[in-house]
Amino acid sequence: MPTPQDIQCFERLRATASLNFEDEAWRREEFTDILTDGGILPARASRGYVGSSRFHDDGDLRAVVLGIELVYYVQEVKHEIGTSNSDPYVEAIHYWIENVRYFMENTQDNPDEARCNLPAIIVLHFGPYLAIAAAVYDEGPNVEHLCCIPLHAHTTNEAELQGGERALAALRVAVHALRDRYPDMPFERTPRADFPFRDFYKDDDGKSHRFTYIEAIEEKRIFRVLHEDGTPLCVKFSKRYSAAAHKAAHSAGFAPALRAVNEVYDWTMVVMDDKTAEYPKNMWDTKAAARADPAKKKPTDKVPAQPPFKPAVSLAEAQKQVQAKLAVLHEKGFVHGDLRDVNVLVRKEDAPGDGADILIVDWDWAGVEGEAKYPRSINPQIVRPLDARAATNIKAEHDVWMAQRLLK
């Protein structure tokens, strides 16, 4: 919640930002003064140069990590929108990335560098607007715009004013936390920087279970982990997930066991059994392997020959089983919504036990028919029924249509 000082700082910023300034430097100094005097910044942001070059930002804050200065806050101030040839957002990102590059070049032999994801806050002020973004570095730079606050909103526009006050309070909390955390980040952070910070889940009884991250799966927000008792699990982070549909599918024998669904801030963390040992390929992989010419695959010293994957059933039989499982799911009142070949796992022929020949995964969009809707992020490049569009109902007939195309 915003403190009285946050609210007063925001009002001062609103009063000043809407003024006409003779030059950009004056606006920059006023903006920096307000954030510093209001306690939003832990120290005054000074203009920092990029390495030994002549290029500089409009103010930044730095901390020493592994003997190198790292930028954890950078601001860019423009007189008005479109008053220069450069985009302030891109400009600020480039300053941060160059600082990251310098750090990585000079710490590449230090094993502690792998635990640094180099977070930073980017603040833009142009005319009567304040924009805030967050940046981290994992396998590459990742910058996300968080909000843009109109500082010239009318005094009766309570929603905009309260949103601005909350944004300024969040900025204060984030910048101060980064300042305090940065110097010891490589030594206190347990997981690698490219793994999520949450390393435990709570079951339905509220009991905590710790786990260790092993690897990410195909650059998705899915990770293979090892439970503290040695059991392999998969942990997935999603914006929505149907635990009910997943459990119904598992009880019918065609989905991995679901261990937990926990809310982690505004993410849903899904924990399930890792069935990779029994189901190493999905239908897409299996189709690709069947179409490949084995004569063109020659083992090398770096990539030794691998035994070919032998599915427990043919692709045609796998499709029939998917259609049969779908009928069971629909009888229970659920729909899947994204029944593609990549979401159907195929069991290998020599897997121990008597598990199902196929498993259906990715229950993010699933739900009760008549309630579940396609998300706004639905990929228009993927062939789907004509009426399967963002914000429309997911229908059982859509699942059936997608299942009929599994072998294409």
Half-sphere exposure of 383 (CA within 13 A, CB side): 8
Using pLDDT thresholds of 50, 70 and 90, give the confidence band for residue 311.
very high
Measured CA to CA, the distance from residue 352 to residue 336 in angstroms comes to: 28
Query: DSSP letters of 273-298?
Result: E--TTT--EEHHHHHHHHHS-GGG--
Q: How far apart are the first and last CA of the chain?
A: 53
For residues 280 and 357, state if they share a domain: yes
Count of CB atoms situated within 10 Å of the CB of 294 = 8
Residue-wise pLDDT tens digits, 209-249: 999 999 998 777 999 999 999 999 999 999 999 999 999 99
Give residue 204's pLDDT: 94
For residues 109 and 158, state if they share a domain: yes
Give residue 85's pLDDT: 62
Count of CB atoms situated within 10 Å of the CB of 226 = 15
326 exposed, middle or buried (CB, 10 Å; 0-12, 13-18, 19+)?
buried
Residue-wise pLDDT tens digits, 58-117: 899 999 988 888 999 999 998 776 655 668 888 899 899 988 888 888 887 777 666 678
Q: Is residue 237 part of a domain?
A: yes
For residues 204 and 179, state if they share a domain: no
3-state secondary structure of 48: coil
Q: Is residue 375 part of a domain?
A: yes
For residues 98 and 212, state if they share a domain: no
Residue-wise pLDDT tens digits, 347-404: 999 999 889 999 999 999 999 999 999 999 999 999 999 999 999 999 999 999 999 9
Residue-wise pLDDT tens digits, 275-304: 999 999 999 999 998 887 555 556 555 555
* Residue that is last in its domain, among 188, 218, 252: 188
For residues 81 and 206, state if they share a domain: no
Residue-wise pLDDT tens digits, 164-200: 999 999 999 999 999 998 888 777 655 566 788 899 9
Give residue 82's pLDDT: 60
Q: Is residue 195 part of a domain?
A: no
Give residue 245's pLDDT: 98
φ, ψ for residue 163, nearest 5 deg: -65, -40
Q: Is residue 241 part of a domain?
A: yes
Which of the pair, 308 or 377, is modelled with greater confidence?
377
Using pLDDT thresholds of 50, 70 and 90, give the confidence band for residue 49.
confident
For residues 248 and 296, state if they share a domain: yes
3-state secondary structure of 116: coil
CB crowding 84-107: b at 16 or more within 10 Å, else e: eeeebbebbbbbbbebbebbeeeb
Task: State the average pLDDT over residues 327-345.
Answer: 98
User: What domain count does the chain have?
Assistant: 2
Residue-wise pLDDT tens digits, 109-152: 777 666 678 899 999 998 899 999 999 987 789 999 999 999 99
Nearest to 123 by CA among 60, 50, 36, 48: 60
For residues 132 and 51, state if they share a domain: yes
Measured CA to CA, the distance from residue 13 to residue 34 in angstroms comes to: 7
Report the CATH number at residue 337.
1.10.510.10
DSSP for residue 8: H
* Residue that is last in its domain, among 162, 188, 214: 188
Give residue 17's pLDDT: 84
Q: Is residue 194 part of a domain?
A: no
For residues 179 and 279, state if they share a domain: no
Q: DSSP strand E in 336-408: where?
A: 344-346, 358-360, 367-368
For residues 300 and 258, state if they share a domain: yes
For residues 175 and 308, state if they share a domain: no
pTM score, whole prediction: 0.81
Residue-wise pLDDT tens digits, 377-390: 999 999 999 999 99
For residues 153 and 97, state if they share a domain: yes
Give residue 151's pLDDT: 94
For residues 294 and 246, state if they share a domain: yes
Measured CA to CA, the distance from residue 28 to residue 49 in angstroms comes to: 16
Residue-wise pLDDT tens digits, 31-45: 999 999 999 999 999
Measured CA to CA, the distance from residue 408 to residue 403 in angstroms comes to: 10
Asked if 233 and 269 count as a contact pair (C-beta separation under 8 A), the reply is: no
* Residue that is last in its domain, among 165, 188, 211: 188
Full domain range(s) for residue 205: 200-404
Largest Cα–Cα distance of the chain, in whole Å? 78
Asked if 254 and 360 count as a contact pair (C-beta separation under 8 A), the reply is: yes
